[in-house]
Copies of this chain bind each other. A is one copy, B any other.
Amino acid sequence: MAKLAGVSMATVSRALSSPSLVREDTLQRVRQAIDALGYVPDASARTLASGRSRTVAAVVPTLDNAIFSHAIQGMQQVLAAGGYQLLLGSHNYDPDTETDVVRALSERAVDAMVLVGADHAPDTLALLRQSGTRTILTWSLSSQYPCIGFDNFEIGAQAARHLYDLGHRRLGMISGIGAHNDRARLRTEGFLGTLRALRAPLAPGAVCEQPYTFAGGRAGLRAVLAQAPATPTAIFCGNDVLALGCLFEATAMGLDVPRQLSIVGCDDLPISAEVTPALTTIALESSELGRQTALALLRWLQDGIEPGRMEMPVALVQRGTTAPPGEPG
């Protein structure tokens, strides 16, 4: 034991966790002994005795979408700086898998859990409640749980207003899969609802659900063009992956973007500003969201301050894929 090289084991513990309770010179001796013996405290014993694991778990749909990996990256960095570790889970947009993942993770005695979105199986939420795991929702806004998210309805609304203001009246949408995904549903509702209010409602068949892949974006464009009674002059896509797929397909079809077709995405991935034409999109600062989430978590775990409901800003950035219908960009 490290205390052979000095004093008792309780003191070592204190020296590590609350140095302020230990006299300066004993502190020194303890520290010397520690790196003389290369002593490394055992986290599981610590956790068992103290009830806190200094570990938080994050469960995302997938890391294959850059938006989530950026958020995780931001979160992990802030957490690490605060002395916390990050356990990672993913469920690929399947609620049952999510429940399993959350169950497995909550056995780990994590101090907190971060989930994406507000749509979760009752079992998932029950698990969290009965294990008393502090939970924070991200990406969406909730009135029932602490959350840090975007106003997804407003995202759809902004896209609608932008396109309407440019003069577009025949619109289409390629949405993400709405089942178990409140972000996708709200963006769609925001878009459709706003257009309805502006008296430019979407034609039936002008909205198409697709998985969040380039192929989904391509297929979505084909479907919308095939289904809509009149060819839309502008399309809003549920995220940038879809929008990029849509853009690539439009280019491949020989459509002139934005002259013949305007496209709006959502997320503002790094690549979105680089493609030609650059994508008009609604910027969501996902790594900032990750950092803010971590900060809120740290405050909750260390100072006991429960996070409330925090809304992250969204902003449309106009670039090359939108222009008035039938006009030069």
Q: Which residues does A use to contact B, with CB under 8 Å? A: 38, 40-45, 47-48, 53, 55, 62-64, 66, 69-70, 72-73, 76-77, 80, 83, 85-90, 101, 104-109, 130-131, 214, 244-245, 248, 251, 270-271, 274-276
Contacts and interface: CB of A to CB of B under 8 A. Distances in A.
- Most chain-B Cβ atoms within 10 A of its Cβ — which of A63, A248, A271? A63
A47 B76 CA distance: 24
19 contacts: A40-B107, A42-B107, A55-B108, A63-B63, A63-B76, A64-B69, A72-B88, A76-B88, A76-B89, A77-B90, A80-B104, A83-B104, A85-B105, A85-B108, A86-B87, A86-B88, A87-B88, A214-B271, A244-B271
Contacts of A107: 40-43
Nearest to A276: B251
State the number of copies, please.
2
A44 B55 CA distance: 12
Contact of A131 (B40, B47, B69, B271): B40
Contacts of A80: 89, 101, 104
Given A42-B48, A248-B275, 5 more contacts: A40-B107, A48-B48, A64-B69, A69-B69, A85-B108
B130 A104 contact: no
A55 B87 CA distance: 9
A270 B214 contact: yes
A237 to B, nearest CB: 15
Nearest to A46: B44
Q: Lowest 9 A-B CB distances belong to which pairs?
A: A44-B47, A69-B69, A63-B73, A63-B69, A44-B48, A44-B44, A43-B108, A88-B88, A248-B274
B85 A44 contact: no
Contact of A109 (B43, B63, B70, B248): B43
Given A44-B109, A104-B80, A85 B87 contact: yes
A257 to B, nearest CB: 12
A257 B44 CA distance: 57
B214 A274 contact: yes
Contacts of A38: 130
Contacts of A87: 55, 85-88
B69 A109 contact: no
A157 to B, nearest CB: 29
A199 B210 CA distance: 51
B73 A90 contact: yes
A45 to B, nearest CB: 5
A109 B64 contact: no
B90 A76 contact: yes
Contacts of A41: 107
Contacts of A69: 63-64, 66, 69
A25 B306 CA distance: 45
Contact of A274 (B77, B244, B274): B244
Contacts of A43: 44, 107-109
